[in-house]
Amino acid sequence: MARHPDNDLIPYLRGELPPAERERVARHLEECPDCKQDAEVLRDLLGNLAHAMGQPPGVSWGRYRAELSEKLDARRRQIGWRRRPMPLALSASLAGVLLLVAVWGGREISKRGDPIGPDEVVIGQEFGLLQDLHTVERLDLLEDLEVLRNLDGLASEHQS
Amino acid sequence: MEPADEALCERVARRDEAAFELLVSRYQERAYRLAWSILRNAEDARDVSQEAFIRLYETAGTFRGRSKFSTWFYRILVNLCLDHKRKHKWWKLWVRDDDEDRAETILDRQPAPVNDPVDKLSREATLKALGSAIDRLAPRQRAAVLLRVQEDMATYDIARVLKCSEATVRVHLHRALATLKKTVEKR
């Protein structure tokens, strides 16, 4: 005898099985009294279950829909608040704080200057620039025409 | 001619309030009854079924029409019920028996008219035992049984609601009914 069609009995009783499977289960039930009895018990059980589950306590549907409407409105407000642009005062304050941080941070960074890398040290030694670091640091003075004109005088003053 | 659920859902996706109202009125009783059958608590069933409608409103645009609207909606509802049960499992064990509505409704059940009072009592007792046994089923088994018996859903649709294979649904149903059968046989 083929295997017992336990899991197929309920779909069989509901007429859901495709023809070939249905035929197989029907044939089995004819040959197997246990499964046939099982199928009959299941049929009765399925019929009784609807009664056994009972009915829920009554609900006022008008009130139910009113509550639903309130909950939906609350959800919409919640979503709307999340999507709403920030109030003007808050946006302006935030922009101000960001500007301050940017300016202050920029000044700190410019004070620190760029660190001298090992490559730059090698090149500097080759050209003797680091030996006169204080002059190199003041190269921006060369932009001043007066300084350029008196460059020799400045050098002699520095030596004395 | 009444508009189909699927057409109404498309309109809900475009934020058509009238279509939403119509869907709610069509499904409110079934949604509440199914939620109550799983949760066994009227207040929870009301809250969870209302939440299912809110989710329907919010996600109507994701309904692609690959399944029936009812299957898609029941999937939302059953998932919410199972989540609710999972979250409240330990709390309810600690605080109270979640069977509080059952006591009032057990006598309100509608057995078939039987003239013999002894038969009637016996039948009521059997139905009561059966009802309690349904409550003790594993949540997914119980959901499968409820969808089959209350909503008369086919195995294919139950599988889509529970997001599992048809074979799994058959196993759930078989095991659940085997358990219930034992309850009846004991009496």
Among residues B70, B97, B124, which one ends one of the domains?
Answer: B97
CA distance A12 to A15: 5
CA distance A55 to B156: 26
Chain A residue numbers with beta carbons less than 8 Å from the beta carbon of B150 are: 50, 53
Whole-Å CA distances, A70 to B42, B48, B77:
19, 15, 19
ipTM for the whole complex: 0.77
Rounding to the nearest 10 degrees, give the CA dihedral for residues B179, B180, B183, B187: -150
* pLDDT of res. B86: 86
Exposed, middle or buried: residue B168 (CB in 10 Å: 0-12, 13-18, 19+)?
middle
Q: Which residue of B has its CA nearest to A75?
A: B54
Residue A24 has pLDDT above 90, yes or no: yes
* pLDDT of res. A2: 67
Chain A residue numbers with beta carbons less than 8 Å from the beta carbon of B183 are: none
Among residues B97, B120, B142, which one ends one of the domains?
Answer: B97
Q: Rounded mean pLDDT of chain B?
A: 84
Instruction: Give tens-digit pLDDT for B6-20.
Output: 999 999 999 999 999
In a domain, B116, yes or no: yes
For residue B70, the domain's CATH number is 1.10.1740.10
* Residue B131 shares a structural domain with residue B79: no
* pLDDT of res. A71: 95
Nearest to B37 among A53, A64, A67 (CB): A53
In a domain, B103, yes or no: no
Residue A149 has pLDDT above 70, yes or no: no
CA angle centred on B77, ends B109 and B17, rounded to 5° = 110
Chain A residue numbers with beta carbons less than 8 Å from the beta carbon of B126 are: 48
CA distance A84 to B185: 63
Look at chain B and report how many structural domains it folds into: 2
Residue A121 has pLDDT above 90, yes or no: no
Among residues B97, B128, B149, which one ends one of the domains?
Answer: B97
State the average pLDDT over residues A77-87.
67
* pLDDT of res. A66: 96
Residue B54 has pLDDT above 90, yes or no: yes
* pLDDT of res. B144: 93
In a domain, B104, yes or no: no
Nearest to B33 among A45, A56, A71 (CB): A56
Q: How many CA atoms lie within 13 A of A141 on its CB side?
A: 13
> How close B66 gets to chain A, by Cα (Å)?
20
Return the structure tokens found at B124. Answer: 């009521």
CB atoms within 10 A of CB B164: 15
* Residue B84 shares a structural domain with residue B115: no
More confident residue, B151 or A83: B151
For residue B157, the domain's CATH number is 1.10.10.10
- Under DSSP, the state recorded for B68 is -
* pLDDT of res. A30: 92
In chain A, pLDDT over 70 holds for what percent of residues? 60
* pLDDT of res. A3: 80
* pLDDT of res. B107: 38
More confident residue, B153 or A82: B153
Q: How many CA atoms lie within 13 A of B12 on its CB side?
A: 25
More confident residue, B121 or A93: A93
* Residue B114 shares a structural domain with residue B91: no
**What range does the domain containing B92 cover?**
1-97
* Residue B74 shares a structural domain with residue B123: no
* pLDDT of res. A140: 58
Instruction: Give tens-digit pLDDT for B88-119.
Output: 766 555 554 444 444 444 334 444 444 565 56
* pLDDT of res. B69: 94
Residue B155 has pLDDT above 80, yes or no: yes
* pLDDT of res. A135: 61
CA distance B88 to B92: 6
Residue A105 has pLDDT above 80, yes or no: no
**H helix runs in A14-117, sequence order:** 19-31, 33-53, 61-83, 88-112
Q: Given CB atoms, is A74 within the 8 Å cutoff of chain B?
A: no
CB atoms within 10 A of CB A126: 9
CA distance B26 to A131: 91
* Residue B75 shares a structural domain with residue B147: no
